[in-house]
Each structure stands twice: as structure tokens, then as C-alpha cells.
Amino acid sequence: MMKPLLQVEGLVTEIGGARVVDGVSFHIAVGETYALLGESGSGKSMTALSLMRLLPEGGRLAAGSIVLGDTDVRALPERAMRDVRGGGMAMIFQEPMLALNPVVTVGSQIVEVLARHRGLAGRPARAAALALLEAVGVPDADRRLDSYPFELSGGLRQRAMIAMALAGEPKLLIADEPTTALDVTIQAQVLDVLRRLKAARQMGMLLITHDLGVVAGNADRVGVMYAGELVEEGVRDAFFASPQHPYSRMLFAALPRPGDGGRLTTIPGQVPRLDADFRGCRFAPRCPHAQDRCRTESPGWQTLGAQHVRCHFAGSLPAAAARSAGTQRVVQAAEPLLAVDGLKVHFPIRRGLIQRTVGHVRAVDDVSLAIEAGRTLALVGESGCGKTTVGKALLRLIEPTAGRIVLDGEPVAAGSLAKLRRQAQMVFQDPCSSLNPRMRVADILLEGMDALNVGTPAERRGAVARLLAQVGLPDDAGSRYPHAFSGGQRQRIAIARALAVSPRLVICDEPTSALDVSVQAQILNLLRDLQDALGLAYLFITHNLAVVEYLAHEVAVMYLGRIVEHGAAADVLRAPRHPYTQALVSAVPRLEPGAGEGIIRLAGDQPSPLNPPTGCHFHPRCAHASAACRETYPAPTDLGDGHWVRCHWVAAQRT
């Protein structure tokens, strides 16, 4: 056996009194991708920071060894460690906007790495930086060198960070959640870049993620981490064919699957605090198979074929239970609760001393849709297409430029906002930002009821306990502040706040985008339960198409401010007709290894809504574009059963 590129043995990392990484051992070979999988708080990112010796204040490597090639990383003085960072191993951080310097151009940041590790300066350094941006697929790379991070899209910022990480020609690349919150199309592009560069440079890669689909398409071996420990490890194909640890199995069961409308499996509780005094198996409090031995005796490693499992009963656990069958939710045809016709939101661009209007950003440009009570319409598309602006305009949080909005048979006007707030509420993407950190949960829930005079004061106080129980939070949650809760619990608080005034329509803006699959399953089950019990209508804004197929009845696909395809969820997602929808669906990560080979690669980035292309807005990126596409915007083509598409190519096929 060849000597591994990276060998980690018995790694222990402490921060204060907590062992955030506890006895972790693994290795990575040259050219191999090792995926570290698990929920937030399990210690994945802290493992990566330990390898780079970039621990936060108060953190220390307490035990274990880290050997990169022939170099003992733990034994190096800090001066020598600076050569290893970026040269021996480099890291792509989870949030590029925080990791990139906002006041320094992208080119200057790459050149800094080139000067440190390759001794380049001046024109040779700029030429090398340009070559790196081109290698990672940044369009118009020469201009982007002089751009600041805020001038780039999320996908381009991630590529710029990859270019910076590669500038020192590292042997090992650590990618910490490199595609979290990216659109599926951008995610596919970024992962494709990483695969191509890894193969060309024969790098090893440590891929940290909670997305099983990303692991299936990119990893050679998988390690599952829980509460600071590795609990399962094995080659990818064996792991996906038959995960052995109960935790691994429950992660798989929590995923929405195409065509499966059954209730999602959830993992009770949450990852324990890492400063706890652990006894026995750390997963035992959440494990459906736990016995007395599990609570008193820490399990050792067992080998089952190509997999290694830390579980007392590995190999003898019952087969995974089938998911409960989904019930067909039939809603009688009725007048739409919400009807939107010709909605436009144009933001003026003003310049000069007198702030003269010189143009408009056409964020939403002629959108029409309808939602019936008890049904869910999913609005999907890439970031920047106008989805969130539609949601805010419906609630008049942003004033529409044009269009007609009818809610429960009455037009929504500026003078009837109180009634609108009673009928429609919004759950925002980030509960950390949308919940007031200085207010207790009970006060957050009471705020909307007080403002809209819902019931008597006594009835409002009684409603708080009912709302907390309705969203699955404990009775004492009302007396606590938002920071005392996990991400999933904060999202439940945001949902309870939306329900406090008994709305009939709830607009959900990416409510599960940053959640682990286990927490996502809890929120999706909750949303379906509330819809069935209360007859709520949802406008569900998202770019996660797996979630769409589980929750939505209908789908509207949006591109550059306009809806390009609309129909029943099963029709649109299983047989997409618009080339843009086909690209979105093809880019969704699948659990089957090798399933990403049929991804449709879109050329370039989404154009600016400040100056949209003439004709069909999608034609600069479409493989089927013709002269008609460049000249006129396509009219709707009816495909039957409420399924329609705006596409000249599809219309030509129908004639």
C-alpha cells in the first residue's frame, strides 16, 4: 500500500472545556476525495481548521498526529506552518463573502498567494492569476481580476476562492461546504471545476458537507461524523448501497425522494453539546435501537466488508423501515385564494446630483400566478431571478410598479394593508436576521397579534402556548430569547410568528436552504401538517427541487423576472420542457453514484435585469436558440393539464 498523502491519527481538539474533535483518525491518498459528512455541530469544520492549525482563540490540538506527506504538521513552528497553509494544503471556506477581503480586488488577493508560495510578482503574477481564474471557469477573467468581491455573484466568488486556494499549488485541498446555499446550476459548475482540477493536478481532497447528493457524485470514500467522533467510514459505493450506523441510515431516511410523498423520517433531539460528560454511545439518546449497553459503554470499531462502523450492534440491526405511505391530498377546485396578474417590480437607477433616473432594474417583469386554499405553489429559479421580490411585492413589503393582486376575492390596495397582514404572512429565509434578538419568543408571537388587534389580551396570551405546541416547541420556549435555540427551532419560531394572526396564505422564502437534512425533514413535515390541519395556501420560494417535489402541488419556474414554465409539480419536474427547467432538474444532486453525468451545462451567468437580452431572455445560454428567440419573446405554449411553457423551440416541436 502506498503511503497516504494525509494521515490523521487520534486527533483531539479542545476549545475551553469542550472536546470538539475527539479521537478522529482517517487518511487521504493522492488523487482521492474523502467526504466528511454529518449535521451542523458534529465537528466537521473544526476538524478541517485543526488540520490547518487555524483554531479560534482558546483552541488547541490536545493529542494526535497530522502528517502531510513526510511533514509532521503538529511539530512545525508557526513560521514554517505559513508555508504549509496554501502550499502544502489549502482551504476553500464555506462563505466566500466573509473569507475574501471586501476592500481588496480579487486579482490582488490571488497575487498575494502567488508571491508567498511561488515568488511571483508584477506581470508574471498577474498572468498567473489570470490563468487561475480562467482555469476555474470565470468568464471575462481579465476584467474580473480588477473586480471587488461584492461585484461578483455567489458562484463567481466561490470560483475566485478556489483560484486563490490553488494559487500555491497545494497537494491537499480542503473544501468546507463549498456549495452551501448555491443554486443547483452554480453548484454543479463549482463541483465540476473541483473534479476537473483535482484530476489534472492529482490533488487529494477533503470534502466537508451535509449534502448526501454532493457526496454521491464526488467522493471516493466517506466518513460520517457525530458529536466530535467518526462513527462510520467506508468506500462510497458500499456506503450508499447499505449504510450501517443508525445515524447514517436516519440521514438517508430524512431526504425527500422523487415520487415519494410519505412522511419524512426525522431524528429526534439534536447533536449534543460537545462539553458534555459523555458516557456510552453519543448517539444513544437519539437512536431507535439503543439498549442499556449503549448508554454505559462506548462502542469500538467493527469491520463489515468495506465499511468500518462504531456501533455495538452493527451488522445485526433490522433492515431500514419503509417510509410511511403518503396520503393523496385532494383539494376541491375552487376560486383562487390568491390571483396575481401582470405583476411588475422595477427599481429605478438614479445618478447625479439631482438623482436623475437613468434606467430601471426589471426585477419582476409581468408575472401572473394563482394559488388555491390548501395548495402549494413552488416558485423556483436561480438567485437573482426575482423570486423573493415577488413574495415581498405580494405582501407590499415592496411596492409593485404595476399589476393586480387579488386576495380572497378583494384587490390588495395600499389602504387595506391591515387586512392583507391578517390574510397573508411571510416566513423569511434566515430566522437569525428576521427574529428580534432582544425580544423573548412570547413577545415575538404577541407583537403581530397586538398590532392587528387579534382577540382580547387574555386570548392572545393563551394563543402563545397553542402556537408553540402547534410548531413542536416546549412550553417554556416563550420565556427564552432566539439565541437559545437551534437553527431548526428558530425556523419553527418564525413559522409560529407567521401563524399567530391566523393567515390563509403563507409565503415561505427558502425556509430550509441552510438546514441539515434532519432538521429540514422536521420543517417540511411541520409545513405539510399545518397545511392539512388549517387549509393554508403556501407560496414556497426555493431553489431546492427535491423539496419542491415533496411539498408542492404546482411549480412555476422563473428566469430573469418572468415565469417560463408552469404546471403540476410531477409534470414539470419529471418531464421538464423549457431548456432552462431541463438544466435545473439535471443539476439536482442524486444519491446514485455517477448520476451527475447527464448534467446540462449552461453557458455563462444569468444576465443583468438592468439590461435583459432582447427576445427570449434565456437565448444567450440556450443550446436551442434560433433567430426567433433573439427577436421576440415567446408566447405561452399550452401542453395540456395546466402545463404551459414560454419557448419558441417547444412551440416549433408542437407544430
pTM of the model: 0.84
Buried b (16+ CB within 10 A) or exposed e, 349-359: eeeeeeeeeee
Containing 234, the helix (H) or strand (E) segment is strand 229-235
- Among 429, 357, 417, 31, CA closest to 203: 31
pLDDT value of position 596: 56
* Beta strand segments in 16-88, E: 18-28, 33-37, 59-68, 71-72
Q: Which residues of the chain have pLDDT under 50?
A: 325-331
pLDDT digits (tens, 9 = 90+) for 588-609: 887 775 555 678 888 777 788 8
Q: What residue type is 108 in one-letter code? A: S
DSSP state letters, 85-118: HHHTEEEE-S-HHHHS-TTS-HHHHHHHHHHHHH
Please tell me the distance from the alpha carbon of residue 421 to that of residue 503, in angstroms, as a whole number: 8
**pLDDT, position 593:** 59
> Could you report the per-residue pLDDT of 301-349, keeping only the tens digit for each?
999 988 999 999 998 888 765 555 444 444 455 679 999 999 999 998 8
Nearest-10 crossing angle of helices 487-499, 457-470: 140
What's the pLDDT at 321? 56
**Per-residue pLDDT, 495:** 93
| Cell numbers representing residue 406 in the block | 387579488
Residue 493's pLDDT is what? 92
* Contact present, 244 and 235 (Cβ < 8 Å): no
pLDDT of residue 594: 58
